[in-house]
Amino acid sequence: MTTHTFALNTELRPLLEATAAQKGTPLWVELIPVGEQITGRDGRSWVNDHPQGVVDAFQANQADLPIDIEHATELKAPKGDPAPAVGWIKGLEVRDGGAIWGWVEWNPQGRSLMEEKSYRYLSPVFTFDTHTKRILQLYSAGLTNQPNLHLTALNQRIQPAGEPAMTLPLALCTALGLSAQATEAQAVSAIHQMKTDKDKALNRASHPSLEKFVPRADHDAALNRAQAAEIRLREIEHRALHQHIEDELEKAQKMGAITPATVDYHRACCQQDGGLTRFRAFLQCAPRMGEDTDWERKAVNKHSQGLSEEDKAACLLLGLDDKDEFNQIKEAA
């Protein structure tokens, strides 16, 4: 759980007098300086990496913030002592890429103290996250004469009374995604945000997520393993095919379908794509050389059978009664 703690920073840069054209108390004051890491002269430090969050918290609170003398609101009021305000912070905005400025409505006492230079410095009271040191919300500010943080001189940031505000070029506003009425501070803030986004993108490119990207060394190693496995698989398939071909050739020779003289020819044919399948089909209908015939059996059967009508007629003409004698005469002829 995040713990929020008050930071009573009683030593900040001076609230310098307004320009001569303004003739009096400044309307805009710098409350938090620019920079993500803010270190005071007393050694304490805070983080200002989300200044817009401070502005959003002020707007959500919908209440002006008091400016008192020496943090009377935080130190004297809890004891029941008077803690009058000398001015009220009525608005906040982010400038210069991260600095937080406040628009102040001073009362007569506050204007008198500033014009007489009784107090020339301003110190904000804010909460921060004790773990990350991130500044979270402004609570008040106090006039003081003990500077601590390095804030920009106010007379360089005040808009003199009656002087028109600077108008940014429309093309610049469009490029930055801002409205045509955007202020210089808003443009600087947008540029700072673009720089931050660029740095984050470069960091992501330098350190990509392993869920989406694979290091080149791991990719190359996996590719080499896959190629080696593919080569071994082809070797195994080649040896298996060679063995099948030799088995079929040996079988074909035993069957008498091919002769030893044609083995090399059939081996080359089998090694072609689909050649073994065609060779097996050839064996189904190939003639068998040296295969036993039934000619002798047919001849024996023929001798064992009786004489035909023609043979009988011939025997009558020759005056033969013995069938064997007739057959001998036929074979001799």
Per-residue pLDDT tens digits for 34-93: 888 888 777 788 899 999 999 999 999 999 999 999 888 888 888 888 889 999 999 999
What pLDDT sits at residue 59? 93
Beta strand pairing call for 65-69 and 37-39: unpaired
Length, in residues, of the chain = 333
Model confidence at 180: pLDDT above 80:
no
Contact (Cβ atoms closer than 8 angstroms) between residue 155 and residue 19 = yes
Ordered DSSP codes for 56-125: HHHHHHTSPEEEEETTHHHHTGGGT-----SEEEEEEEEETTTEEEEEEEE-HHHHHHHHTTS--EEEEE
pLDDT at 13 over 70: no
Question: 3-state class of 5 per DSSP?
Answer: strand
How far apart CA 266 and CA 262 sit, in angstroms, is 6
Rounded mean pLDDT of 167-188?
74
For residues 177 and 197, is the Cβ–Cβ distance under 8 A? Answer: no
User: Would you call 306 exposed, middle or buried from its count of C-beta atoms within 10 A (0-12, 13-18, 19+)?
Assistant: exposed
Answer with the residue of higher pLDDT: 207 or 192.
192
pLDDT band, very low/low/confident/very high, at 319 (cuts 50, 70, 90): low
How confident is the model at residue 147, as a pLDDT? Answer: 63
The Cα–Cα gap between 79 and 76 comes to: 5
* Euclidean distance between CA atoms 47 and 69, whole angstroms: 26
Residue 56 CA, chain-centre distance (Å), reads 31
- Report domain extents, the chain: 4-163, 166-197, 216-285
DSSP-based three-state secondary structure for 282: helix
Tokens 């011939």 locate to 314
Q: How far is CA 275 from each of CA 144, 269, 280, 281, 303, rounded to the nearest angstrom?
A: 100, 6, 9, 10, 49
Name the pTM for this structure: 0.43
